[in-house]
């Protein structure tokens, strides 16, 4: 097993590629645009890495392949596995539970059984592909059992786990009938990474209470002598890449064309989100609609552009959410718009990255109001694209990004009046004020980009390995 394996294995629910069918009818793979791929790609290349994940769809006979030099190993999913592991336990149970129970999580024993069997398949594949003593980096809530399953199969490996979404307080996780199995699953890793320090603390506290292991600060001490560390690694974006794109002639021209097409209003408000009930889309549009109704500004002064990217469309909550939002948009436009001037320009679609950058450059007020969000990269992307140090960010306190972007107009998305005041302040802010805030946020994003995130996680994971190999006592209180 060890001789031919890879020194680094990335395990994530999805492969970092999308299947595209060309004009000739032939299907090819294209790298997905996300920041995660760009972050992990240099690490993959440096370590002879391989990426295991689901390529989407239900094709059963897929062979390993490479795209732009990245080695990819597809794991196929059956229709039942998609329904019960992905849409069911991952997105119908864990997603709402980990996001403050914004929607009611469903608990079904069949979903759990399939979650276990899919996790096992990922773990077995990782065990097969990893070289002796290799590093395996497992990602996100769909695969929380993989670390322990993998450790049982391959005790020689260094295993890291990173959770992209929040890890909630013990009081909420407690509801989960399989809470102990999930905690034990994660404890198979040497390093468990979270977006925020509070999430790491929630995890350590739960492990102490529910599994009964000894803990000290961010360390968990297992009965077999192993030590697991839980810590925060706030994820970020390719800030320089976004900035470069924002500066390009094409994006600059496109941003001007967008403003023109919207009728050159005084201010453009913008929201871009996956159509998800955690993102607070409905509440922000209501706040905007009320400001128009109150006469704070008119549809000639301001327009709200809301891009709602289709997401998880087969899950019932998501279908209902879409209906609710579209009803509200129709109402606001019907009551407050006039011919050629809708109050809200609503787009249920996804765009290429250049178009996103053009929208960010065209918008005066970016509105990001999730009820709960692990980080929220859209907020950071907006900041990276504001190359002229202008524009206002209205940001929910409950997005992980609020920890770093302190100069945003921070809002509680449950407080409708508070949200209206913040939108209005951002609308009215003087250029000097905008520039002071934006400069500070841009410094933060430039220094803490996605490369720094990936490097710090990998360094931490390998440092711990070094300590263990050299017999350092990890229980030494100096380290604690
Ligand atoms: C999860 C956590 C955490 C969106 N629409 C289009 C498009 N996007 C890109 C954005 C951004 C990404 O998708 C969305 O990331 P977010 O962080 O905003 O939100 P989630 O999808 O919920 O992500 C979140 C993240 O994982 C990373 O750890 O921050 O808290 O929930 O990069 O630009 N990209 C393109 N077209 C679109 O229409 N090309």
Q: Read off the pLDDT of residues 134-171 as tens digits, 9 standing for 90 and up.
A: 999 999 999 999 999 999 999 999 999 999 999 999 99
Q: Could you read off the pLDDT of 284-325 as tens digits, one per residue?
A: 999 999 999 999 999 999 999 999 998 888 888 898 999 999
Neighbours of 23 (CB within 10 A): 5
Q: Is the CB of 274 under 6 A from ligand 1?
A: yes
Query: Residue of the nearest CA to atom 19 in ligand 1?
Result: 376
pLDDT band for 474, please (50, 70, 90 cuts): very low
Q: What is the CA radius of gyration of the chain?
A: 23
pLDDT at position 465 is 58
Q: Is the CB of 234 under 6 A from ligand 1?
A: no
pLDDT band for 63, please (50, 70, 90 cuts): very high
pTM of the model: 0.95
Q: What is the mean pLDDT of residues 219-227?
A: 96
Q: Is the CB of 105 under 6 A from ligand 1?
A: no
274 CA → ligand 1 middle, Å: 7
pLDDT > 90 in the chain, percent = 85
375 CA → ligand 1 middle, Å: 9
Ligand 1 atom with the smallest distance to the CA of 399 is 30
Pocket test for ligand 1, best of 166, 195, 274, 318 (most atoms within 8 A of CB): 274
Which residues are CB-neighbours of 221 under 8 A, at least 6 positions away?
213, 214, 215, 227, 475
Pocket test for ligand 1, best of 251, 356, 377, 450 (most atoms within 8 A of CB): 377
Q: Is the CB of 377 under 6 A from ligand 1?
A: yes
Q: What is the mean pLDDT of residues 461-468?
A: 70
Here the tokens at position 474 are: 């990890």
Instruction: Write down the mean pLDDT value for the chain.
Output: 93
Contact 88, 111 (CB under 8 A): yes
């Amino acid at each position: 097993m060890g001789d031919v394996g890879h020194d680094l294995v990335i395990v994530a629910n999805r492969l970092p590629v999308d299947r595209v069918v060309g004009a000739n009818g032939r299907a090819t793979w294209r790298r997905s645009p996300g920041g995660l791929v760009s972050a992990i790609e240099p690490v993959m290349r440096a370590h002879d890495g391989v990426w295991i994940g689901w390529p989407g769809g239900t094709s059963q006979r897929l062979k390993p392949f490479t795209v732009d030099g990245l080695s990819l190993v597809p794991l196929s999913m059956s229709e039942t596995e998609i329904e019960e592991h992905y849409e069911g336990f991952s997105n119908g149970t864990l997603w709402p539970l980990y996001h403050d129970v914004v929607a009611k999580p469903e608990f079904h024993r069949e979903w759990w059984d399939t979650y276990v069997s899919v996790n096992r398949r990922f773990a077995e594949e990782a065990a097969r592909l990893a070289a002796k003593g290799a590093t395996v980096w497992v990602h996100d809530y769909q695969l929380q059992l993989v670390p322990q399953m993998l450790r049982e199969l391959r005790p020689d490996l260094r295993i890291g786990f990173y959770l992209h979404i929040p890890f909630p307080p013990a009081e909420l996780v407690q509801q989960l009938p399989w809470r102990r199995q999930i905690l034990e699953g994660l404890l198979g890793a040497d390093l468990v990474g979270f977006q925020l320090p509070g999430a790491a603390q929630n995890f350590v506290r739960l492990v102490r209470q529910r599994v009964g292991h000894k803990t000290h600060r961010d360390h968990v001490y297992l009965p077999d002598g192993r030590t697991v560390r839980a810590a925060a690694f706030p994820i970020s974006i390719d800030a320089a890449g976004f900035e470069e794109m924002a500066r390009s002639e094409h994006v600059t021209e496109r941003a001007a064309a967008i403003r023109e097409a919207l009728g050159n209003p005084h201010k453009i408000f913008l929201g871009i989100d996956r159509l998800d009930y955690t993102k607070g889309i409905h509440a922000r549009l209501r706040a905007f609609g009320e400001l128009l109704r109150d006469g704070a500004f008119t549809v000639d002064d301001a327009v709200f552009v809301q891009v709602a990217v289709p997401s998880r469309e087969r899950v019932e909550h998501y279908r209902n959410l879409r209906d609710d939002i579209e009803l509200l948009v129709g109402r606001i436009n019907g009551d407050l718009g006039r011919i050629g001037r809708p109050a809200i320009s609503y787009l249920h679609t996804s765009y290429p990255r250049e178009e996103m950058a053009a929208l960010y450059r065209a918008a005066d007020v970016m509105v990001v109001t999730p009820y709960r969000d692990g980080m929220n990269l859209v907020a950071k992307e907006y900041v990276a694209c504001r190359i002229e140090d202008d524009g206002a960010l209205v940001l929910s306190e409950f997005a992980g990004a609020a920890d770093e972007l302190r100069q945003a107009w921070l809002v509680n998305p449950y407080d409708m009046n508070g949200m209206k005041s913040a939108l209005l302040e951002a609308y009215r802010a003087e250029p000097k004020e905008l520039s002071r805030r934006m400069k500070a946020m841009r410094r933060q994003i430039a220094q803490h980009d996605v490369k720094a995130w990936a490097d710090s996680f990998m360094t931490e994971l390998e440092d711990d390995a070094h300590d263990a190999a050299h017999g350092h006592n990890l229980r030494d209180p100096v380290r604690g």
